[in-house]
Structure 1
Amino acid sequence: MARRPIRPKRPRVRRVDYPRRGRTNWLRWAPSWRQVLSAALLGLTALAGLFAAVYASVDIPDENAEASRQGTVYYWADGSQLVSVGAVNRQNVTLADIPDSMEHAVIAAENETFYSDAGVSVKGIARAAVSMVEGGETQGGSTITQQYVKNTYLSQEQSAKRKFKEFFISLKLSNKQSKAEILQGYLNTSWFGRGAYGIQAAAVTYYGIPAKNLDPSQTAMLASLLKGAEEYDPSGGKGNHQRAVDRWEWILDRQVENGMMTKAERATYKKFPEPRDAVKPTSLGGQTGYLVDIANKYIKKRSGLTAKDLARGGYRVHTTFEKDRVQQLERAVRSVRRHDLAPKKRPADKYVEVGAASVRPEDGAVVAVYGGADATTRFANNADTAGVPVGSAFKPFVLAAALQKGGGITLDSGYSSTGRLITGGPRPATPTTPSGGGVLPVPVLVPTTLRDALIRSANLTFERLGKDIGLKKVKEMAVAAGLHEESLARLDKSFPLGTSTPSAVRMADAYSAFSNGGMRAEPYSVTGMTRDGEAIEGFGKPEPQRAMDTSVANDVKDTLGIAAWTSLAQDKKFDAFAGSGNLDDLSAGATDGDDRMKSAWFIGHAKGLTTAVTMFRNKPGTPQLLGMQGVGGDDSERGNVFPLRIWTAYATAK
């Protein structure tokens, strides 16, 4: 049988000449310009197709789906309900009822290309994405349209997924709604702080007038709040006020740059339009508003939630506050004010404010606070606001720093008449040997020991002690005990005498280290929090940390105990308590009547709680504290006896 001829194999035709024929070495793997161009066009086509597919698949959600918000419920430590905060302060208005100056201020501040852009900022999205991928803070940079979409249609989570949705919904919304509709929606849904959603509520909250009556200066101030009401509300402290003024000026200047305001008109707005004092809803009256304020501060610190998030509601917050303790503290303050102050008869008794806080030393739980007479009439929380000089109540930290440093310094150490620190307490001098025989050693006695100096609140001794051991060491001890570094004064010779301005909560917590063997924990006010049945993370109990050696804490505590009983004995009103046995494990620190401070303090430990009480004078609208001279009459030692009386009435309450 004849064989079939073998046909030669045809060469395989390659659709893509890669690796490239006719090239050697690395050139075989280098694509041609045609291949590069083809790949780029193919990629762009794929991206365009993907973009179109995603754009078509993303729908604009139902408007105001998030607007139906629940109240947030706060609970006492025993599980009973403290308060439910649920009313959303918002009244929608049309652009016709919003002055043009508000529109100009918002566009100048937030999105100057609002009327010409497509509703999105690619640069802002990219910056936010890079930041989140790198694990940094979430970034802003969104257009007004994107912010409106976030306010109205999406959750407030900061995630790449939410940013992705925001981008495409903003594109669609920009094509569906007019710029006027978007701007109106944005101004009605934006958060302005103080519980106010929308420009109408903000105008009433901050200036007591409807939005249509706002002037350009006021609208510039309100526009500054959109950057973050928690940092730009002028009532939030000195730092807030300065930031608000700076941004207010910047927004007005930006309007001039963008042609929205003339230089002549800008020149008429020289004085910052101070808003009225913040007033909380009536359900937050009495001490309730102050308790919620402290809980919310802690929530924001531990969970990352903002005031805006909390205002949306739906949370269940379990606090450390004990109802009976809060009521006892409030009654103690009211009793002393009623019996010892007469503002209608004595001008010096006007504008007197009291702040107080009780902390459990074992774990730092804030058990009770007194923030002021009523949270609906005074927004500032006297219990948790830094700004009141602590005076001689700071001296125990100086003593603790000296004892901790060691080097022979003890409670029996002190200064000689020449100003030399004699360590170790009284000790024999070098024996002298006159003619005729020797004599017994003559003891060198310290005129005032450190123990006595603390009891008597001797300023010169502590000024010298701070200098000798180093002011930095004193500061380190105060911070280790729990005082915020930013509340501490500059390190000069008066620093050991109490020029720092910590809050009552922080002073109570810091003193707890003395009664707890040198251990202290960060003060906390929330034990747990849920939303829609799911736990919010971040509320584990703070772990106690060592602030000082046990022996140091005990030495200071024992000395403070003597100081406390001495203070009680000196106050004629409470002579009976000195030997009554009603106060157990008593230890305390106080400001001295000779302190040239505009405040009075008393911090004591009794019945398992460390409580700080402060009194000062503050006239509304005046940033500086008024003097305490004459408060309560000539025998009050500049009002110094009243924190002691408040503390004693509270500590002995049944």
Structure 2
Amino acid sequence: MGRAEERRARQRGGHRAAPKRRRSEPTVDATRAAATPTTAASTAADGATVVGGRSAKPAKPPKGRIRRLFTWKKILGTFFGFCLLGIGGFVGLYLYVDIPAGNALAKQESNVYKYSDGTLLARVGETNRESVDLSKVPKDVQHTFVAAENKTFYTDSGIDLKGLARGLFNTVTGRGKQGGSTITQQYVKNYYLNQDQTATRKLKEMVISLKVDRKKTKNDILAGYINTSYYGRSAYGIQAAAQAYYGVDAQKLKVEQGAYLAALLQAPSQYDWAVASKTGKRLVTERWNYVLDNMVKQHWLDPAKRQTMKFPIPKEPKGAPGEEGQKGYLVELANQQLEDQLMAREGISRTDAAQQVIKRGWTITLNVDKKKQAALEKAVKAELTSKLEPKKRKVDGNVQAGAVSVDPRTGKIVALYGGQDYLKHFYSNATRRDYQPASTFKPVILAAALEQNAATQSGKPINADTVYDGTSGRQVLDHGAKAGFGPPNEDHVDYGPITVQEAMNKSVNSVFAQMGVDVGMRTVMDTAKKLGMDTEGMQPVPAQTLGSMGASPLEMAGIYATFANHGNKVTPSILKSAEQKGRSIDIPKAIGGPVISRTAADSVTSVLTGVVDDGTAKKSVAGNPLRNGQQVAGKTGTSDKNKSAWFTGYTPDLVTSVGLFGEDKNTKAHVPMTGATGLLPPPGRVNGGTYPAKIWAAYTFGVTHKATFDLNTTQGAAVEPTDTPSFSQPPSTTPSNTPSSAPPSSSSPSATPSKTPVSPTPPSPTAPSPTAPTGTPTTGTPTDGSTDDPLDPGGNFGQ
């Protein structure tokens, strides 16, 4: 049978062709094969072709369509094709894109800031546009910038291909900005382009950098770079930076100072020594050392001279014209929050965002109410600064005040006090986070307990009526084991058995230290974060129950505003609108969803009314003659060695946090305020219930009217108690080894909340039965209701 016939036979019979015979095999008679096809060629059960009783493997199927389409040759060809297209496109782009006219100086325009009613607050940004010739900058100082940013500057072609590829990749994949740009690229970005982080802008930056490197000398490029960069403190260019940080002209800068300015460019806001955190100071010092060490490696600095160099502390910053008084503090926070929006919206760094905001022709309207702002300034002057006499008492010169006032219904910052004068004290006391909030943190512990339905270690639900042992210095117990923490109460007063309500009124440290462990310190810190506190780096340890972390009046105002807004998150905002030549920024809403339940938030508010009417703020707030029916909730606090004192309080329509801080006017170290304004021992302390509460009352009662809280709770001082106080444990008994969290009993006040309107002047809780604890101190006598700052043996006051 011929091949054609064999193929036709296979098609008719559905069999595959028999494999070719080997030469050694005998020839099969064609007639016989045709007569007996099932013998000559048949199919085995497994699909193999059987020839002469033998099984043969089937022939390989043809290659699939995908394998034929994607071969190595085609893949390599496609790759090189794209490379050629990319090269061609780049050549076309290089020919198409010209070096634009420089615009850095033209972009420096005044920003206009307005009050919420549209009236002018300040005009800031009239710039000294002086650029200095590179010959006026010492050679060693020039080298500091090259050592910091681009060691190959003098030999490269103007671009860093690796850095550019990394930047393009991160931009396309949404990973934000990535460093690696050369000095030439940064100069091009500053002077010819903008700070946008887009692929188009980066491609233009690369092309223009190559052209600039060909057309300009390295000295011209370096001069352009140091004259257009942003150094913080509203300073553009090395001349303005030299004046802002060291009070000298650029030509008189020392190499150590130049190294600091060069290091500063990486993160001006974070690295400004005057306002930097401990982490910021550490990072800029490391960066400063890096710059000088690179100079040694490049043989630009003698190693022996390098070893003798000390970090050059910059001088204190000063505000610019138009920023005097409180204006500078308001402008500073507005700029910061606008930068935050640009960072979130465009994925840029703080440095790039600042360059888009500072002196860039914005019209920014603030939420600040002109009348409330004036009232807050007047209250601080009347109740505090008019009483300070630094020439008579040195300590008076160390007292700094800060305050933030927020509308809890909208989240608007309606007034702010940052310090005596922005031109004299650059650092805003309203936003600083380097002082302890002390006992103003106690409501957060209670909020965590109520939100989690937590119980004591003996199984009793934690609420306003729960009884704790108020013995001063009592060791905190963690399921029978000592936690290694036993804070004393103020003046070492022993209260014995005391309710949570009374403990909040009197700010009893031993109670809240134990409550924090009962709830779980990690849970407490998580609740603090949800409420608006920056808890990054904070350890969940019992000492935090005394408010030993750092916090600002702005933060505390936001936390208490969330309580006032029934548990809905309030993020205080100073921005009402921001526009720039037809461009406007969408300002996010300051009110978010619930972060704790309404019942928990309202219960905290109810308890805090007792602090005002029967506790540490009674004298200054509850009894203030300006009070006109406003119901008030709040908490006092005084920190370690009287270095800070607080009152954060609220009416239904206004939350204000006032802080006083002891700061040495020369060294800026934290110092005690004891004896300020002539207060005499004992104790002579500036407590939260004194000047902070007096400032709060003078301001708040002057701008608010009669109002009562709409509370959804059955517990706390604002409502009549419904249950007999429940003991957490007998004072002398070790807590049982009971889980620290349990559902509340049906009789717990928090278990059956009711929407209860309360009177403007809430009644005090009914007196407990003779068998119930009274919370009467057993040793020591507080001087008055406003003294509230016990000494923590670990170094912290708790109040």
TM-score, normalised to structure 2's length?
0.71
1:555 to 575, 582, 603: 603
Listed one character per residue, the Cα deviations across residues 82-116 of structure 1 (whole Å, up to 9, x for unaligned) are 22223134421111110111211111111111111
> Residue type matched to 1:412 in 2?
D
2:150 is aligned to: 111
User: In the alignment, is residue 541 of structure 1 matched against residue 589 of structure 2?
Assistant: yes
- Give the stretch that moved more between structures: 48-57 or 286-295: 48-57
1:67 to 102, 106, 109: 106
- Kindly tell me: are residues 235 and 347 of structure 1, through their superposed partners in 2, closer, same or farther at Cα, counting changes over 3 Å? closer
User: Is residue 362–residue 578 contact of structure 2 (8 Å, CA) maintained in 1?
Assistant: yes
Listed one character per residue, the Cα deviations across residues 120-158 of structure 1 (whole Å, up to 9, x for unaligned) are 111121111111111111222111111111111112211
Query: Any idea what SS the aligned residue of 2:624 has?
Result: helix
1:358 to 405, 410, 415: 405
- Give the stretch that moved more between structures: 105-114 or 542-551: 542-551
What does residue range 408-557 of structure 1 map to in structure 2 within 5 Å?
408-416=461-469, 447-486=497-536, 489-537=538-586, 539-557=587-605
2:720 is aligned to: none
1:630 is aligned to: 675
User: In the alignment, is residue 319 of structure 1 matched against residue 366 of structure 2?
Assistant: yes
User: Is residue 634–residue 647 contact of structure 2 (8 Å, CA) maintained in 1?
Assistant: yes
- 1:577 deviation in Å? 2.2
Listed one character per residue, the Cα deviations across residues 230-255 of structure 1 (whole Å, up to 9, x for unaligned) are 22222232222211111001100011
1:332 to 379, 387, 397: 379
Query: Any idea what SS the aligned residue of 2:650 has?
Result: strand
- Kindly tell me: are residues 587 and 58 of structure 1, through their superposed partners in 2, closer, same or farther at Cα, counting changes over 3 Å? same
Rg comparison, structure with higher value: 2
- Give the stretch that moved more between structures: 280-289 or 65-74: 65-74
Listed one character per residue, the Cα deviations across residues 212-231 of structure 1 (whole Å, up to 9, x for unaligned) are 11111111000001212122
1:76 is aligned to: 115
Q: Which runs of 4+ in 1 moved over 6 A?
A: 24-33, 35-45, 417-421
- Kindly tell me: are residues 48 and 615 of structure 1, through their superposed partners in 2, closer, same or farther at Cα, counting changes over 3 Å? closer
- 1:639 deviation in Å? 1.0
CA root-mean-square deviation = 2.9
- For residues 403 and 69 of structure 2, what CA distance do their matches in structure 1 show? 77
1:381 is aligned to: 428
- For residues 387 and 470 of structure 2, what CA distance do their matches in structure 1 show? 41
> Residue type matched to 2:698 in 1?
A
User: Is residue 125–residue 141 contact of structure 1 (8 Å, CA) maintained in 2?
Assistant: yes
- For residues 417 and 383 of structure 1, what CA distance do their matches in structure 2 show? 34
1:427 is aligned to: none
1:200 is aligned to: 239
What does residue range 193-272 of structure 1 map to in structure 2 within 5 Å?
193-238=232-277, 239-269=279-309, 271-272=310-311
Listed one character per residue, the Cα deviations across residues 32-68 of structure 1 (whole Å, up to 9, x for unaligned) are 99x9999998877665554433222211112336625
- For residues 296 and 495 of structure 1, what CA distance do their matches in structure 2 show? 32
User: Is residue 621–residue 693 contact of structure 2 (8 Å, CA) maintained in 1?
Assistant: no
- Kindly tell me: are residues 521 and 258 of structure 1, through their superposed partners in 2, closer, same or farther at Cα, counting changes over 3 Å? same
Unaligned runs of 5+ in 1: 1-23, 422-444
Listed one character per residue, the Cα deviations across residues 269-305 of structure 1 (whole Å, up to 9, x for unaligned) are 1x21010111110211111111111111211112226
1:401 is aligned to: 448
User: Is residue 356–residue 504 contact of structure 1 (8 Å, CA) maintained in 2?
Assistant: yes
Query: Any idea what SS the aligned residue of 2:112 has?
Result: strand
2:199 is aligned to: 160
Query: Any idea what SS the aligned residue of 1:616 has?
Result: strand
User: Is residue 107–residue 360 contact of structure 2 (8 Å, CA) maintained in 1?
Assistant: no
- For residues 331 and 58 of structure 1, what CA distance do their matches in structure 2 show? 58
What does residue range 631-646 of structure 1 map to in structure 2 within 5 Å?
631-632=676-677, 633-634=679-680, 637-640=684-687, 641-646=690-695
User: Is residue 568–residue 574 contact of structure 1 (8 Å, CA) maintained in 2?
Assistant: no
- Give the stretch that moved more between structures: 555-564 or 177-186: 555-564
1:299 to 311, 328, 338: 338
> Residue type matched to 1:340 in 2?
K
- For residues 412 and 574 of structure 1, what CA distance do their matches in structure 2 show? 24
- Kindly tell me: are residues 216 and 553 of structure 1, through their superposed partners in 2, closer, same or farther at Cα, counting changes over 3 Å? same
- 1:117 deviation in Å? 1.0
- Kindly tell me: are residues 563 and 176 of structure 1, through their superposed partners in 2, closer, same or farther at Cα, counting changes over 3 Å? same
Counting matched residue pairs gives 602
User: Is residue 234–residue 242 contact of structure 1 (8 Å, CA) maintained in 2?
Assistant: no
Listed one character per residue, the Cα deviations across residues 312-345 of structure 1 (whole Å, up to 9, x for unaligned) are 4122222211111111111111112244333222
> Residue type matched to 1:559 in 2?
V
- For residues 612 and 539 of structure 2, what CA distance do their matches in structure 1 show? 29
- For residues 303 and 567 of structure 1, what CA distance do their matches in structure 2 show? 45
- For residues 100 and 639 of structure 1, what CA distance do their matches in structure 2 show? 53
- Give the stretch that moved more between structures: 184-193 or 632-641: 632-641
Query: Any idea what SS the aligned residue of 2:551 has?
Result: coil
- For residues 166 and 283 of structure 2, what CA distance do their matches in structure 1 show? 24
> Residue type matched to 2:96 in 1?
S
- 1:263 deviation in Å? 0.8
Listed one character per residue, the Cα deviations across residues 377-419 of structure 1 (whole Å, up to 9, x for unaligned) are 1111100110111111111111222222324222111125898
- Kindly tell me: are residues 174 and 122 of structure 1, through their superposed partners in 2, closer, same or farther at Cα, counting changes over 3 Å? same
- 1:28 deviation in Å? 8.9
1:586 to 623, 632, 650: 632
- 1:354 deviation in Å? 0.3
- For residues 469 and 576 of structure 1, what CA distance do their matches in structure 2 show? 35
1:652 is aligned to: 701
- For residues 574 and 581 of structure 2, what CA distance do their matches in structure 1 show? 21
User: Is residue 561–residue 587 contact of structure 1 (8 Å, CA) maintained in 2?
Assistant: yes
User: Is residue 153–residue 182 contact of structure 2 (8 Å, CA) maintained in 1?
Assistant: yes
- Kindly tell me: are residues 298 and 590 of structure 1, through their superposed partners in 2, closer, same or farther at Cα, counting changes over 3 Å? same
- Kindly tell me: are residues 534 and 470 of structure 1, through their superposed partners in 2, closer, same or farther at Cα, counting changes over 3 Å? same
User: Is residue 613–residue 622 contact of structure 2 (8 Å, CA) maintained in 1?
Assistant: no
> Residue type matched to 2:196 in 1?
E
- For residues 69 and 357 of structure 2, what CA distance do their matches in structure 1 show? 59
User: In the alignment, is residue 287 of structure 1 matched against residue 343 of structure 2?
Assistant: no
User: Is residue 171–residue 199 contact of structure 2 (8 Å, CA) maintained in 1?
Assistant: yes
- Kindly tell me: are residues 69 and 596 of structure 1, through their superposed partners in 2, closer, same or farther at Cα, counting changes over 3 Å? closer
- For residues 329 and 283 of structure 1, what CA distance do their matches in structure 2 show? 20
User: Is residue 66–residue 153 contact of structure 1 (8 Å, CA) maintained in 2?
Assistant: no
Unaligned runs of 5+ in 2: 1-61, 344-351, 456-460, 477-494, 704-799
- Give the stretch that moved more between structures: 539-548 or 455-464: 539-548
Higher helix share: 1
- For residues 85 and 627 of structure 2, what CA distance do their matches in structure 1 show? 84
User: Is residue 410–residue 590 contact of structure 2 (8 Å, CA) maintained in 1?
Assistant: yes
2:226 to 159, 173, 187: 187
User: Is residue 642–residue 674 contact of structure 2 (8 Å, CA) maintained in 1?
Assistant: no
Query: Any idea what SS the aligned residue of 1:84 has?
Result: strand
